[in-house]
Amino acid sequence: MRLFDAHCHFDFPRFDGVRERELANAAAVGVGGLVIPGVRRADWDRVRSLSAPENGLWYCLGIHPWFISEHTPQDLADLEALLGGRPSGCIGVGECGLDALRGDLSEQLPWFSAQVGIAARLNLALVVHSVKAHDQVYAALRSGSWQGRALIHGFSGSYQQAKKFIDLGCYIGVGGVITHGRARKTREAIARLPADALVLETDAPDMAPSGVPVGENSPTYLPAILAQLAKLRGDNEELLAEVLLGNAGRLYGLAPEVLAAGAAPG
Ligand SMILES: [Zn+2]
């Protein structure tokens, strides 16, 4: 089975000193690659230094809504110049977005819209953080006439909300949320959505699946998320895994074998 973690904060200090081991453990359970999103300029170099496409380690760079106050418009200009140079291993813009639970949406919006524009101009995938702000994220994509590839990462919400994003061409990120019984609405939504619009992710070290301590999530839990997803949908795990890998390939614009280059042979 080949799996791909479409969103994993593998640069975070939680993985310092254990990265090699985590990667080996992940490969042993079929995880052949992951995408590390950059959330603030201060972290971009750290994210880039981990890039190793030949081993399935990819990245994207952006300004997350939690960190906008650390930035100036010059950072957006620099982001576009940096990504415009097509650095090896970089396959998207993000993590960016809107978060109604932390900060002011009207302050976050210009930063998000600017990054939507960068992704559109550079034809890169857009990685979106949308928390209690699906309508506003949708409106921002619409007003920017979004036509590219986008991931609504760590999706939590209703079928109708997910369907609207899918109709716009977005992929829905499925993570640890669905392993929690309390997430009834999201579980019902994910069970009904078309399989070819779903992408697997951990968001590690955050979004711990059921039974995993908060902050201790890792890419090795991706198979558990897949198992829960297959169960909710009544799908065969192996077949679903291949569909999901193909989806991640379309999202990030790479062939599945290239994307999951770190998969253990056999
Ligand atoms: Zn994230």
Q: What is the pLDDT of residues 198-208, one digit of tens each?
A: 999 999 999 99
* pLDDT of 248 strictly over 90: yes
Query: Residue 161 belongs to a domain with what CATH number?
Result: 3.20.20.140
Would you say residue 190 lies in a domain? yes
Find the 236 Cα to ligand 1 centroid distance in Å. Answer: 28
Is omega for the bond preceding 216 within 30 degrees of 0, making it cis? no
Find the 44 Cα to ligand 1 centroid distance in Å. Answer: 14
Q: What is the pLDDT of residues 28-66, one digit of tens each?
A: 999 999 999 999 999 999 999 999 999 999 999 999 999
Find the 33 Cα to ligand 1 centroid distance in Å. Answer: 16
Would you say residue 265 lies in a domain? no
* pLDDT of 265 strictly over 80: no
* pLDDT of 1 strictly over 60: yes
Find the 36 Cα to ligand 1 centroid distance in Å. Answer: 9
Would you say residue 264 lies in a domain? no
pLDDT at residue number 144:
80
Would you say residue 64 lies in a domain? yes
- The amino acid present at 55, given as its one-letter code, is N
* pLDDT of 141 strictly over 90: yes
Find the 9 Cα to ligand 1 centroid distance in Å. Answer: 6
Find the 77 Cα to ligand 1 centroid distance in Å. Answer: 22
Q: What is the pLDDT of residues 86-118, one digit of tens each?
A: 999 999 999 999 999 999 999 999 999 999 999
Number of structural domains found in the chain? 1
Would you say residue 203 lies in a domain? yes
Find the 228 Cα to ligand 1 centroid distance in Å. Answer: 20
Structural domain that includes position 66: 3-259
pLDDT at residue number 113:
97
Q: How far apart are CA 168 and CA 166, in angstroms?
A: 5
Find the 217 Cα to ligand 1 centroid distance in Å. Answer: 12
Find the 63 Cα to ligand 1 centroid distance in Å. Answer: 11
Would you say residue 192 lies in a domain? yes
Would you say residue 202 lies in a domain? yes
pLDDT at residue number 147:
86
Give the pLDDT band (50/70/90) at residue 78. Answer: very high
pLDDT at residue number 263:
75
Find the 153 Cα to ligand 1 centroid distance in Å. Answer: 7
pTM of full prediction above 0.75: yes
Average pLDDT, the chain: 96
Find the 8 Cα to ligand 1 centroid distance in Å. Answer: 7
**% pLDDT > 70, the chain:** 99
Would you say residue 232 lies in a domain? yes
* pLDDT of 178 strictly over 80: yes
Which of residues 225 and 1 earns the better pLDDT score? Answer: 225
Find the 266 Cα to ligand 1 centroid distance in Å. Answer: 30
pLDDT at residue number 48:
98
* pLDDT of 266 strictly over 90: no
pLDDT at residue number 87:
97
Find the 128 Cα to ligand 1 centroid distance in Å. Answer: 9
